[in-house]
Amino acid sequence: MLNFTRSRNQPRPSRSMPFGGMEYADPKRKSNVVGKILLAATLTALCILMLKQSSNFNTPSPFSRHEPGVTHVLVTGGAGYIGSHAALRLLKDSHRVTIVDNLSRGNLGAIKVLQEQFPEPGRLQFIYADLGDAKAVNKIFSENAFDAVMHFAAVAYVGESTLEPLRYYHNITSNTLVVLEAMAAHGVNTLIYSSTCATYGEPEKMPITEQTPQVPINPYGKAKKMAEDIILDFSKNSEMAVMILRYFNVIGSDPEGRLGEAPRPELREHGRISGACFDAASGVIPGLKVKGTDYKTPDGTCVRDYIDVTDLVDAHVKALNKAAPGKVGIYNVGTGKGRSVKEFVEACKKATGVNIKVEYLARRPGDYAEVFSDPSKIDHELNWTAKYTDLQESLRVAWRWQKAHRNGYGTTPLAMAS
């Protein structure tokens, strides 16, 4: 038997052994490192497996896929006065709703009300974004499966538009182009567009029909007409279903008291007459300033067609239901009856129970004397007619919300919107 022994002075083998031009580390030294790597790899694999097996990982967001029997509507400007009321109606009608708003004029409080009313998953989502950011808008369209767009988002004060015309052309005309391009790129083929009677300017004949020439006299009306022209030009060579609704003067609020109008305090000077009346009735301002008493109207003040917001959103829903590929519908949305500013103020006094102080001033730039609609086309084609036509009652409902919300929807940190 041979006994191989190593003398004390025999050198130890080196820590690495050459083989085929390569060196391999001693496994005894590396065993701990390899074990740690294997453990990490095993844990990672388990995590991935668990994620894949979870419903959230495998199931995409309901907003990202089309679902039979469910209409997913993008509501731009859905945190605003009219947009929030439209979103409420769409949700009540079991539609899926995505609201996009930059909150420059809208209220996050309105979004919170809608979320509280419809908390179920897949019903409502809010995305904080600016429609002037084409990259952001394209991303929104790429991540969501929209069936239709209701485009409300816009600055909308005649007086302000005469002071800041470029802002109006950018916000209304340019932003509409961004939305339209995104719709075309992502195959969204139904558009309900929020337009205005301001596109008609100051017509020679009343009432205004859809054939009345559009000759706007202020940047607000001009910007809206430009947006309409862009939509109509694009629709000529596409299968897009287009409905353009030209509003008259909007008043009122949700009859159940969930939503109302809460404009920015700094915009009171430019706001709707109803807001000014309520501010005067609640003592926020000392009285009401009526601008213009020398118009060619029965009492010298402007005459307008006041449409309740509940009727207005009903017109949108009927337009959505009737929208057809390759077809364009253009409709006036009004009551067909004109009321003077003085009549309006008297109705507001009765609705609020406050003897509002009134101061009469010179005309406001960009205003027109008399505007009221002929709504027969929308009645005939969409079976829509205004139901809330009692001016005093519409103001009473809106005043009820105003009294219950002295600070509007309150102040909510913008960080919560993301």
Distance of CA 259 to the CA centre of its chain: 15
- Residues 359-379 have pLDDT tens digits of 999 987 767 788 899 999 999
Q: Determine what percent of the chain is predicted with pLDDT higher than 70.
A: 85
Interval 138-142 mean pLDDT: 98
220 is catalytic: yes
What is the number of helices (H) and of strands (E) in the chain?
14, 15
- The pLDDT value recorded for residue 42 is 72
- The pLDDT value recorded for residue 48 is 63
The answer to whether residue 277 scores a pLDDT higher than 90 is yes
**Confidence band (pLDDT; 50, 70, 90) for 259?**
very high
Please write down the long-range contacts of 407-410, taking CB distance under 8 Å and 24 or more positions apart: 408/107, 408/109, 408/260, 408/262, 409/107, 409/108, 409/109, 409/110, 409/112, 409/113, 409/262, 410/109
- Residues 32-86 have pLDDT tens digits of 766 667 777 776 766 665 555 544 455 789 999 999 999 999 999 999 999 999 9
- The pLDDT value recorded for residue 388 is 98
Interval 192-204 mean pLDDT: 94
- The pLDDT value recorded for residue 47 is 61
Contact (Cβ atoms closer than 8 angstroms) between residue 345 and residue 289: no
Number of Cβ within 10 Å of residue 266's Cβ equals 7
Distance of CA 184 to the CA centre of its chain: 19
Q: What share of the chain is helix, strand, coil (3-state, %, to 5)?
A: 45, 15, 40
**Confidence band (pLDDT; 50, 70, 90) for 20?**
very low
* 72-405: CATH, from 3.90.226.10, 3.40.50.720, 1.10.3720.10, 2.70.150.10: 3.40.50.720
Q: Determine what percent of the chain is predicted with pLDDT higher than 90.
A: 75
User: Which candidate in 220, 295, 306, 368 is catalytic?
Assistant: 220
CA distance 404 to 81: 16
- DSSP string for residues in 233-284: HHHTTS--EEEEEEE-EEE---TTSS------GGGTTTS-HHHHHHHHHHTS
- Residues 220-249 have pLDDT tens digits of 999 999 999 999 999 999 999 999 999 999
Residue ranges covered by each domain of the chain: 72-405
Q: Look at 341 and 159; give whichever has higher pLDDT.
A: 341
**Sole residue written with tokens 């995590």:** 47
